[in-house]
Structure 1
Amino acid sequence: MSTSLQGKSIIVTGGFGALGRALGAELSSLGARVALLDRSGAAPDTPAGILAIGGIDLGDPTAAHGAFAQVASRFGGVDGLVNVAGAFIWEKLEGGTIEAWDRMYAINLRTAVVASQTALSFLLGRGAGRIVNIGALASVKAAAGMGAYAASKAGVARLTESLAEELKDTGITVNAVLPSIIDTPANRADMPDADASRWVTPEALSKVIAFLLSDAAAPISGACIPVAGRV
């Protein structure tokens, strides 16, 4: 079985961030047709062949369907989805706000649910497909101040497992990667004294995701795979 993605049409949510851009470049290098979707309206510079669509509220089913339909029309269908869209809040429960929990669920879990549900309307007709979710290692063991974030990412893990069971006879696989800390400019700014060499680079994580999107990963579904680097 090949790990090539030649001719596959892949949608990446949260595509304008550090991981989304790195993943788009990796998938494109493997022959995929890539669409980067993002809430931001400021599209980044992208290589030729990568479609960037901004201003999309992925928590809104109507907006999500419109964006997916645009990609399907441009690329002749949809073969895979990677749910990268997400955010992080560090806030202890004591003195914290319930709004922080609502925001984490809206950004980290609701977007994955809406995008996955939208993708199924395109994938089921093809009789095959791939969905890869970005979870977090913190969903397995949360540190202080990470309750809301970790809970929302635990929801992503359970979504992954449940949807994989739902789709196990359709040819569509659903998996998640659980990174520790991704080496991004934002994380370096937030943790200036940390040893970033121990973190997971967007490029390294992208290669794991690309494998899960490939034909070679067909026997894998419902897996939540730690990608911890040396953290």
Structure 2
Amino acid sequence: MIKIAMIEDDLELAEVLIEYLKQFNIEVVNFEEPFLALSSLSLQKFDLIILDLTLPGMDGLDVCKELVKLDVPIIISSARSDITDKVTALKLGADDYLPKPYDPRELEVRITTILRRFNKSLDKTVEETKEKIFVLNEEKREILKNDKYLRLTAAEFEILSLFIKREGFVVSREDIFENSDVLNSDYENSGSLAVIINRIRHKIEDNQKEPKYLHTIRGMGYKFIQ
């Protein structure tokens, strides 16, 4: 599991990000107070740090100066619009700067990209993934089952990708449409989603009538297990 430290005094935002990233096998520990964060980070090992710049008691750029000494990738998450802050943070050694407000999906992508570059926890995750039946490669837009490529339409790929990333969690119809760039309200109203789900089952299941991987959770949505 990827372990991330977040220094964020907006507890409502922190809670949203913690819950969202959990589904991607990312554990987030939030520190509301920067001095406590610096003390804890000197004792605990994390794969990445998400740092807000507007913090109580200490300026975020000063915190950044201390964090770069730990040799851990840093993503700045800030509502400050001054380009000087962005330039200063990057010059200090931060790896990315994400202005607020932002979509949590973008944060997850940036975390994955940075960790791939650092070859740290993501390598462990990839090793674990190799042992699984289904392997998702988002960059190549490919999904493999037992090392064989699945021939999928754009909609099928999007939905199955979401299921794989949220393995073990219930995914509702609303989740599918909110996280899709292909599906629109026409699909939602026409019932075409059920048709696409059936097509996916046809391509991944040995027996559609007794699905092993993609299960319907009555009244809630779908759950993918492998």
TM-score (norm: length of structure 2): 0.31
Which structure: greater strand fraction?
2
> Per chain length, whose mean CA-contact separation is higher, i.e. which structure has more relative contact order (CA < 8 Å, sep 6+)?
1
* Higher-Rg member (1/2): 2
